[in-house]
Amino acid sequence: MNSSAIVPSVPGIRMLRLPEVCRITGLGRAMIYRLQAGNRFPRSVKITDFAVGWVDAEVQVWLSKRLASRRGELSEEKAKHPGRSAAPSNCGA
């Protein structure tokens, strides 16, 4: 029996697994979980007892906000950390 017979898929929602989230964001596993724990990254969704995923649209919104912040459209990071550079972290995948 295939899983789509048990739970119909929701049109338009795409789930990302951790390797894809790492690839899309450029962040490593530990950093993703650290940001998530601090409510600074979208929360994962429990898919099965042993698998989690992230909603693609939520990850895309997070990335859009980061880009807007870089362009100065959002000053969230500057307000939280005045004088701190927005240099990327060295979190390998």
- Our count of domains for the chain comes to 1
Res 55: pLDDT: 97
CB 21 within 8 A of CB 15: no
Question: What count of residues does the chain have?
Answer: 93
Q: Name the residue range of residue 23's domain.
A: 13-73
Whether 7 maps to a domain, the answer reads no
Residues paired with residue 16 on neighbouring β-strands, in sequence order: 54
Whether 59 maps to a domain, the answer reads yes
- Confidence (pTM): 0.66
Whether 36 maps to a domain, the answer reads yes
Whether 68 maps to a domain, the answer reads yes
Residue 71 has pLDDT above 90, yes or no: no
Whether 83 maps to a domain, the answer reads no
Whether 1 maps to a domain, the answer reads no
Whether 44 maps to a domain, the answer reads yes
Higher pLDDT, 8 or 36: 36
Whether 47 maps to a domain, the answer reads yes
